[in-house]
Structure 1
């Protein structure tokens, strides 16, 4: 555990507590809570004393049915004898389940840099080696470089689209190339789709699990945390090849037995509300995004902002010799605004900041953006 990086979000949160009034553009959550349909399901849960006992490891039947319907309609994936669903306590659990199910200690998992820090941590916790492949200057995939990184110990290639921390949406063509690489080399393609509804400017999200004949080597991870304002309820799900089901069940039964059943009932209500609930909120987030991008154009001499059309992040390449964590500390201390240093996403060269714009009410987010821009102008 000594070589596993410490999670950065609590560290930045501690800095914020030391400077009251700081506006956080750090944590990746949404500004709204769950739909009423989710809260209403709690009554259903409480009505039956049997619900207080352990339930099925893979999830309650009513939620599995809702998920299967959603996957078929929205993602082009049928749940059948080749592919199955496991409800998890968030998609982070799904990722750790996947890594433990497909690897032996010493195996390799290919991650794209910048990576999502909890993915890198999970690979290391499992006793495996994260093999890092840099994305291009626009933070898009480089399939040729990924192919060159494959060795005899490689077990999986990980992609996240829409991406955390960059906000980039990978192209369908590139995701198909990665999926083909996995098929051809006998690897698994793990694709994290937690931000599937958060796309802008007409950009389309693509699920690799919808590719014909991909069910035997593709694992898809989903979360209710973002779209349904469900972060603390800890419900996600994984779509996995059926031959991995026995291994995943062993892991999940050992780790959590079953995801919190009251949260699963709430998730049934959330999925009944459907994607329209999230999409109705996207207008406010998209407006803040435009404000952020417009404000950053005014300091283009101080930072580069590669295009991002998904999630609710931008990843700034800041033109400075100051290290990222020091810059974050100064922004909090001197200007009352927080961001996340790029080093936690594997960016060791240069200074990068992840800026999240989905967690705050629009007026607060815009005030935070103004502080960020003024801070970068003053410090750099």
Structure 2
């Protein structure tokens, strides 16, 4: 555990509390609540006393059936005799389940940098080794570098699309190449799709598990936290090859026994509403995204803004010798605006900041980005 990095969100949260009035562009959450249909399902949960007892490790049957329909309609993934669905306490738990199920101590998992910090933490907790592979200047996958990183100890390649922390969306062709590589090498493709619905400018999300005959080596992770405003309800799910089901059930039964049943009922209500709920809010988030782009583009002498068409993040390269955490601290203490340092996402050279814009509506977002721009102008000496 001493080798596992400390989660950055609580650290930044403490700085925010110490500096009253700070606007947070740090944590990746949305501004809107769950649908009313999710709340109404809770009364159905309460009407059955047996719901207060332990339920299936995999999840309750009505929710599993609804997820099957969702996967077919939204992801073109068919749940056949070779695949299983497991409901989890968020997709972070799904990732932990996957790592524990497929590895022995000392095995390797390939992460593309910048990575999602909880992935790196989970791999280290499992006494495995994260193998870091650089993406290109636009944070897109580099297949040749991924190939070169594979060793006899490699167990999986992880992709996140739309991406956290960069906001980029990987192309269908590049995801297919990674998936084919995993098939050829006899390793797993772990596809984290927590931000599947957050795409802009006509960009479409692609699920690798929709590839024909990929069911024996593709692991797909999903979350309700983002699209349905479900962050604290802790509900996600994973689609896994059947041969991993017994291992995942052992892990989940040990850590959790079963996903919170009250949250599963709420999830059932949310998925029943489906696209009709989150689409209107994603349009609002896109407006905030454009506000941020318009304010950041003129700062080309201070920072590099890579085009991103997914999730609700920008990953800025700042033209300074200042350490990124030092810059983050000054932005909070002097300008009351909070972002996350790039080092927590595996970028050790240079100064990078992750900006999250999903939690803000337009008025607050405008104030927040103006503070950030002012802070960067005053704190950075342009190269």
Q: Same fold (TM over 0.5)?
A: yes
Q: How does 1:345-360 map to 2 (within 5 A)?
A: 345-360=345-360
**Which runs of no fewer than 5 residues in structure 1 stay unpaired?**
none
Q: Are the counterparts in 1 of residues 26 and 355 from structure 2 also a CA contact under 8 Å? A: yes
* Cα deviation code 1:98-125 (max 9, x no counterpart): 0000000000000000000000000000
Output the CA distance in 1 between the equivalents of 2:229 and 2:83.
28
Local SS of the residue matching 2:109: strand
- Normalization by structure 2: what TM-score? 0.99
- C-alpha separation between the residues in 2 aligned to 1:139 and 1:149? 17
Give the distance between the partners of 1:365 and 1:56, measured in 2 at CA: 42
- Alpha-carbon distance in structure 2 between the residues aligned to 1:217 and 1:332: 44
Alpha-carbon offset, residue 280 of structure 1: 1.1
Deviation string, structure 1 residues 190-234 (Cα, Å, up to 9, x no partner)? 000000000000111000000010000000000000000000000
Partner of 1:8: 8
Distance 2:275 2:328 in 1: 35
Whether the 8 Å CA contact 2:288–2:361 is kept in 1: the answer is: no
Matched, 1:78 2:84: no
- Trace 1:229-244 onto structure 2 (pairs within 5 A): 229-244=229-244
**Partner of residue 306, structure 1:** 306
Q: CA deviation at 1:284?
A: 1.0
Deviation at 1:43, TM superposition (A): 0.5
User: Which residue is 1:214 aligned to?
Assistant: 214
Kindly indicate whether residue 195 of structure 2 is the aligned counterpart of residue 174 of structure 1. Answer: no
Question: Is the CA contact 1:323–1:350 (under 8 Å) kept in the aligned structure 2?
Answer: yes
Distance 1:77 1:152 in 2: 30
Measured after TM superposition, the shift of residue 277 of structure 1 is 1.0
- State the distance in 1 between where 2:111 and 2:276 align: 32
Look up the match of 1:147: 147
Residue equivalent to 1:87: 87
**1:27 aligned partner:** 27
**How far apart are 1:276 and its partner, in Å?**
2.4
Alignment partner, residue 193 of structure 1? 193
8 Å CA contact 1:111, 1:159 repeated in 2: yes
Residue correspondences, number: 380
State the superposition RMSD in angstroms. 0.5
1:362 is displaced (CA, Å) by 1.9
Question: Structure 2: how far apart are the matches of 1:166 and 1:15?
Answer: 23
Query: How far apart, in 2, do the equivalents of 1:326 and 1:48 lie?
Result: 53
Q: Match of 1:37? A: 37
Q: CA deviation at 1:65?
A: 0.4
Distance across 2 between alignment mates of 1:292 and 1:300? 14
Matched with 2:337 is: 337
Contact 1:66 1:268 in 2 (8 A): yes
Q: Is the 8 A contact 2:158 2:190 kept in 1?
A: yes
Q: Distance in 2 between matches of 1:137 and 1:122?
A: 27
- Alignment partner, residue 157 of structure 2: 157
Contact 2:59–2:86, Cα closer than 8 Å, also in 1: yes
**Structure 1 CA distance, aligned partners of 2:307 and 2:165?**
13
Look up the match of 1:277: 277
Q: Aligned partners of 1:38 and 1:133: how far apart in 2?
A: 40
How far residue 14 of structure 1 moved from its aligned partner, in angstroms, is 0.3
Task: State how far apart, in whole Å, the 2-side matches of 1:152 and 1:102 are.
Answer: 14
User: How far does residue 72 in structure 1 lie from its aligned partner after superposition?
Assistant: 0.7
- Superposed displacement of residue 365, structure 1: 1.4
Find the aligned partners of 1:183 and 1:5 in 2 and give their Cα distance. 32
Match of 1:203? 203
- What is the CA-CA distance between 1:282 and the residue it aligns to? 1.1
Check the 8 A contact 2:302/2:376 in 1, yes or no.
Answer: yes
What's the counterpart of residue 261 of structure 2? 261
1:222 is paired with a residue whose SS is strand
Instruction: Give 5+ residue unaligned stretches, structure 2.
Output: none
Displacement of 1:275 after TM fit? 2.1
How far did residue 294 of structure 1 move?
0.7
Partner SS state of residue 328, structure 2: helix
